[in-house]
Structure 1
Amino acid sequence: MNRLFWIALSVFLLFNSCASTNRIAKPRQIEKFFSQPFYKNQFTGFKLFDPQTKKTIKGIHANKYFIPASNAKIVTLLSALKTLNDSVVGLKYLKQNDTLYIKGTGDPSLLHPYFKDSTVIHFLKNVSMPIVLQTGHYDDQPYGPGWAWEDFDTYFSPEKSALPIYGNVLSIHNENDSLKIAPKSFKDAISFEKTRFKRERLKNSFSFVKPTQDTLQIPFITSDSLTSRLLSNAIEKEIILQDSIKTGIYRKLFTVKTDSLLARMMIESDNFIAEQLLLLSSDALTDSLNSGKARKHILETHSQLFGKVPRWVDGSGLSRYNLMSPDQLVNVLNELYNVVDRNRLFALFPKAGINGTLKTYGQAEGDPFIIAKSGSFGNTYNLSGYLKTKSGKVLIFSFMNNHYQQPSSSIKNKIYELLKAIRNEY
């Protein structure tokens, strides 16, 4: 009997020792991964966190600041989920003295090339009184600080505004050799010739080679007068411009579902939607449209997530002034994981091998195991999100790469290699 007891005890201790060794080996394997020569000439940060045990599995330079690029949208997502309702407020209006006073909220969906929402148009068409568009509550700049000036004519860099219309872009589509242009009022401002930029820098004058199939989108220069004119054309009524804001109790006109904007921002990495979401958050919090107020609110009310304050200057991550750490991004992802319904949350993120910016990332193997937001521009590639393991766990990670010179495809392959190994081992 004693002999059987000692044999059983020995087997128990042996297995316990092996399990303990494996637990120690996993973080060590991750550390060994980052000691490869591949990472010698770049800045790399990584954090792997278990939200169930609330413990960090491994951190490599996790408290250091990196340029997040579009990983900044993860914090913008937090801002929107904390401040906005299920549906977006597309317009605020006040009926007074037989006049309808309206003001924009930052909602980007009005006649947007993707959303094509016309709720505001139908509402205003049915109004029989004079319409006054008020603009004095907008307290922001058309571009974020640190945006690249030469991107002014690129589809991913439209101007911000209080009442965007048509997504603040000129859209041109070749359909059966016939060009479809929106808004139509720019038709006479287009010339078909190849130039360095598709629009003059300080003028809404466009020049480009005729598109063959894909829709071409070029940002236009916004202004209160242009917004008024485009809106007036759409509703076929006069719009009166007014800088001052009429006091009173404004009613709200709701348009698209908030999650439709959030999904577009996260899955397609839509910069314009990200910037407008911060303005929508500002509108929900204050009487003005100022993205800085929305950012300040989140940083102050959720300071426990950030520790030392990050440098967060825009909603999209287009600015190279932004600085965030893997620690901070993991903390924000963990907050989202804890307060948002799991199915809803995962539906807002790209899935590797399935959709959005991660559609060609890795390979879809049944249920996608990488649910994450990428962030990239020159010499920068980051990936932060959720990792489903083979044992059924969900881990949270942030993998940040700055100042590298090798192809981004090599960086992506290395990230996938590590995440797949973690998925198999945990």
Structure 2
Amino acid sequence: MQHTVRHFFLVMIGAALYACSPVSPRALQKTFRQTEAALQEHVGFVLYDPLKKEKLVDYNGSTYFTPASNTKIFTFFTSLKLLGDSIPALKYTVRGDSLIFWGTGDPSFLYPWVYTDGTVYTYLKGAPQQLYFAADNFPTAFYGPGWAWDDYNDYYASERSALPIYGNLAAFTTAGSTAQVVPPFFRTSILPGIIQKKPAVIRDLDRNQFVYHPGVQASTKTFTIPYKTSPILTAQLLGDTLKRVVTLLEKPVARLGAQTLKGIPTDSLYRVMMQDSDNFIAEQLLLACAGVLSDTLQPEIAIDYMKKHDLRDLADVPVWKDGSGLSRYNLFTPRSIVQLWEKIYHTVPRERLFPLLAIGGSKGTIRNYFKGDAPYIYGKTGTLSNNHCLSGFLVAKSGRLLIFSFMHNNYTASTAIIRQHMQETLKKIHENY
């Protein structure tokens, strides 16, 4: 407790001094050094003027940091380059009285957190042929490298799959001693648990067995838990949802001549990924990008392609391992992230781009921060334990558009303290540049 209070007062004193200080590059760098010393952390910051092609501030800009969900900026750019206006929803081929189909990684099928137009459901439900699901295009592990295995019961750690259903999540609504679940396929997988102070639903690590522990006080609550995926479960869930027989094909099937069924607008997915930091969408989009480049849903295919092509001129080679940033193996530098934002800015018109991003004081993960008369921060946050980052665009009061990357790693203070320091810094830049 004393340690936390000491951190708090150190930052408060620093913020008070900083509020009266100039915002020259030298003054900013001094502030960063003081913050690093006070909080025993590492800070990286780059501020760049894309119109003048001028780097205004560079503090540890060439140092590698754990980006957390700033990784989604790389996934966003990759998707913009490869996916087009609509997500590939399904690959299929008709052979006689059989409709054989493959997943494309599309995360939207019955996913309640994004807009969906029912394309896949309507197509499969109404197909006159017998339905056969082929899963031979998905050799990828359900978790990415460097993910924390003990996140398996948390909504933000859905497993990756070729044809996800309901976001690979089961939603349990509990009331007293009873629990209902969507999809209802799992209703027979709920086991009673002991009464606890607070209600909880806990899945078994390796199987879809969910134990419901009622709370001492009866109340209605919803728990969103990842379910354990498998090709056979996908076929079973599809069958249960469509009220049709769906057969899993155990052997590889030739995909020559397979057609693509187009799904929802990709911007519908980008908005949720970038504003709400949806890990599941990010991972699935990277799989979908791999499916555009090849016949295999493997994220490394998309990552390697981008590193050799659109990202080959980054100042520092990205150590890029997944789509979401859940992996602690990811390492990017602030100056490379700034370069990436500049590429995105030249790829997407501003009037389309900014509404897709988290917006200070208005939308997404920074809706409660950076409040002003008008929004002036547009970007992407990234948070893992002891790491917090924010990168994107800053609109100064002068009307000047700047690109920044602000990265904090290996702190033991509260993330709230880190955010406050970031707010003070970016607000000063907004007011004076």
Structure 2 length as normaliser, TM-score? 0.89
One-letter amino acid matched to 2:73: I
Residue 177 to residue 391, structure 1, CA distance change in 2 (3 Å): farther
- TM alignment of 1:22-41, pairs within 5 A: 26-37=24-35, 39-40=37-38, 41=40
Mapped contact 2:23–2:428 kept (Cα < 8 A): no
Find the structure with the greater CA-based Rg: 1
Equivalence map 1:310-321=2 (5 Å): 310-321=318-329
| Residue-pair matches, total | 402
Does 1:354 pair with 2:362? yes
For the residues of structure 2 that align with 1:262 and 1:175, how far apart are their CA atoms? 35
Distance in 2, matches of 1:175 and 1:122, equals 33
| Matched residue, 1:17 | none
Q: Secondary structure at the match of 2:425?
A: helix
Q: Supply the distance in 2 between the matched residues of 1:106 and 1:394 (Cα, whole angstroms).
A: 35
SS in 1 for 2:330: coil
Q: Does 1:204 align with 2:208?
A: yes
Contact 1:67–1:320 under 8 Å retained in 2? yes
Instruction: Give the aligned partner of residue 233 of structure 1.
Output: 240
TM-score by length of 1: 0.90
State the Cα distance separating 1:302 from its structure 2 match.
2.1
Gaps of 5+ in 2: 1-21
CA distance in 1, matches of 2:212, 2:45: 43
- Which of the residues 300, 304, 310 maps onto 1:302? 310
Contact residue 201 and residue 223 of structure 2 kept, 8 A: no
Alignment partners' CA distance in 2, 1:100 and 1:412: 52
Cα distance, 1:177–1:131 mapped onto 2, change above 3 Å:
same
Does 1:372 find its partner at 2:379? yes
Shift of 1:113: 2.3
- Aligned-partner SS, 1:293: helix
Q: Residue 204 of structure 1 aligns to which amino acid in structure 2?
A: N
Once residues 167 and 25 of structure 1 are traced to their aligned partners in structure 2, the CA distance between those partners, rounded to angstroms, is: 45
- The offset of 1:238, in angstroms, is 1.1
Question: 295-304 or 137-146: which moved more?
Answer: 295-304
- The secondary structure found in structure 2 opposite 1:215 is strand
- Is 2:76 the counterpart of 1:62? no
Contact preservation (8 Å) 1:113, 1:171:
no
Structure 1 contact 305–331 (Cα < 8 Å) conserved: no
Deviation at 1:214, TM superposition (A): 4.9
- Structure 1 position 38, deviation (Å): 5.2
Query: Which amino acid is the alignment partner of residue 372 of structure 1?
Result: G
Q: Which residue of 1 aligns with 2:19?
A: none
Query: Which whole-Å CA distance do the structure 1 matches of 2:381 and 2:193 have between them?
Result: 35
Q: Is the 8 A contact 2:48 2:402 kept in 1?
A: yes
**For residue 141 of structure 1, what is the amino acid of its counterpart?**
A
State the 1:207 CA deviation.
Answer: 1.6
In 2, Cα distance between equivalents of 1:129 and 1:328: 50
1:1-400 matched pairs, under 5 angstroms:
26-37=24-35, 39-40=37-38, 41-115=40-114, 117=116, 118-173=118-173, 180-193=180-193, 198-209=202-213, 212-242=219-249, 243-362=251-370, 364-400=371-407
- Give the match's secondary structure for 2:155: coil
Q: 2-side partners of 1:77 and 1:246: how far apart?
A: 31
Q: Contact (CA 8 Å) 1:137, 1:245: kept in 2 or not? A: no
Give the Cα separation in 1 of the matches to 2:280 and 2:155: 9
Q: Which amino acid aligns with 2:204?
A: E
Matched with 2:7 is none
- Does the 8 Å contact 1:138/1:288 carry over to 2? yes
In structure 2, relative to structure 1, the CA distance for the partners of 1:359 and 1:247 (3 Å cut) is: closer
8 Å contact kept, 2:170–2:183: yes
| 2:429 aligned residue | 422
State the percentage of identical aligned residues.
37
- Measure the CA separation in 2 of the matches of 1:39 and 1:140: 42
Counterpart of 2:206, as a letter, is L
Indicate conservation of the 8 Å contact 1:326/1:399, yes or no: yes
Q: Which amino acid aligns with 2:66?
A: I
Post-superposition shift, 1:308?
3.1
User: Which AA in structure 2 matches 1:110?
Assistant: F
SS at match of 2:88: strand
* SS of 1:344 mapped into structure 2: helix
2:352 & 2:37 partners in 1: Cα distance? 36
Q: Deviations 1:111-152 (Å, cap 9, x if unpaired)?
A: 112237332111111111111111111121100011011101
User: Which residue identity lines up with residue 317 of structure 1 in the other structure?
Assistant: G
2-structure distance, mates of 1:230, 1:52: 52
**1:400 alignment partner, SS class:** strand
Structure 1's 87 and 213: CA in aligned 2 closer, same or farther, altered over 3 A? Answer: farther
Q: Which amino acid aligns with 1:198?
A: I
User: Is the CA contact 1:305–1:328 (under 8 Å) kept in the aligned structure 2?
Assistant: no
Residue type of the alignment partner of 1:187 = R
Distance of 1:37 and 1:88 partners within structure 2:
43
